[in-house]
Structure 1
């Protein structure tokens, strides 16, 4: 049985068996949980459907969070995406999905924490875009979530997926890494390419702080989900091109843990530093909660 302590061990096991990471993980989880593979697949399929529903609900132009800080930006992005934007409609629609799910979360909607609520838009923004806009089978997207989940388990074990422990690198950074690996597999990349994509994505968000305005998972969190999508696409594209991370993926994850440990408390979800303590950040907090 797999222990999920190392991504390289997952890659080695998949290569030895001549299968994808997702096939390896699904078979392993079936054994570990004593659950038939088709039942586990259906449960993961349910997660995918929740992501789709969150996107649909999140693009409502009248959607607002309880605080009133956020809402309606996914609708704006969706309208803009129809014109193609600077990078084409595929990418702008991916940003739309990420913002939609994140705004829906801020409005207390049902989402999939992937791996956290604060980073819930990144996997839908990437995986659903490949499935829906590139006409990939739903089965491929569901299986990719097993790969993303396995990589997330390793990151959680070796480092952290919590902003309060590791900063936003542990949330949006981890989500971008999981998404990058999943997209590589969906696109026919090898397990080794998935590992390189994961490493590149984490490196590109290494040191990202968690500094929510008024302590709410809204500003700058929602826009960081869109940024995480961009990071995931860049990492996946490089890995699929054959570009490798010079630093092995597990060492990159260990470095993320060390960076998180060295971050001051003020930059780890306490709203005591960064954007949270700018004049505007303080003013917004006072308007929401009072002086």
Structure 2
């Protein structure tokens, strides 16, 4: 699929300064690197696989119709983690990909999470992979299940610059189906560089009203990211300097399960943004993955500490 130039940054970009983010314990300046302890596993993400029906210009995980670097998670594998998470008192299960509905076990995995009393969040582009499961998916609608649809902007031109020609109408149609079928619906979007949050939210609200869509679970806006920006490393002193708590970071309350191609079984990683980096692979069980995370990656600074982002609801 051909793409127009995107206004969004490539979140997979490495730092301009090659001396940074090399040692997990100390920064390039020799200062003690910040770390984050897991205070409680509030959200467990299950990555269903990196295959996607789209090849978006700035996908941080490089999902595409050909990228199976992370293979499909099976229902049996998912259930094992759901059981462990239930024993730990986890509140929420998030499903992400790729496009989760490329995975043939997707609907049974949602049902298994709901049956165990979890709040469930599914990130989807609401296009054909989801629509083929309408009959099986519709009975699962209810207050415990939120479907978060990606609309990269409130304008068709910007959305299609990111996702490809013809994607806008299909995404909007899927969003409309979810709303009419009674699902709790959220939308994930982004601000353009130079666009204020208030302007972005007003634009999305006008769109929802024009479409007659109820977005009852909220609009999540991700800030613009500059891939060319050289970000600072986060030291232990930064928490006081920035007036932030490590407990507010994503890795203080969440983990993600992935299954790399060729692996016998899945394992747990620290963050939804870092599924490939081996230093963030924490073990095969949730218990194994309960240790602290060293913030030794540009995403830790750019997206989480300085960007204030969170993938969960």
TM-score (norm 2): 0.25
Structure with bigger strand share is: 2
Higher relative contact order (CA 8 A, sep 6+): 2
TM-score (norm 1): 0.26
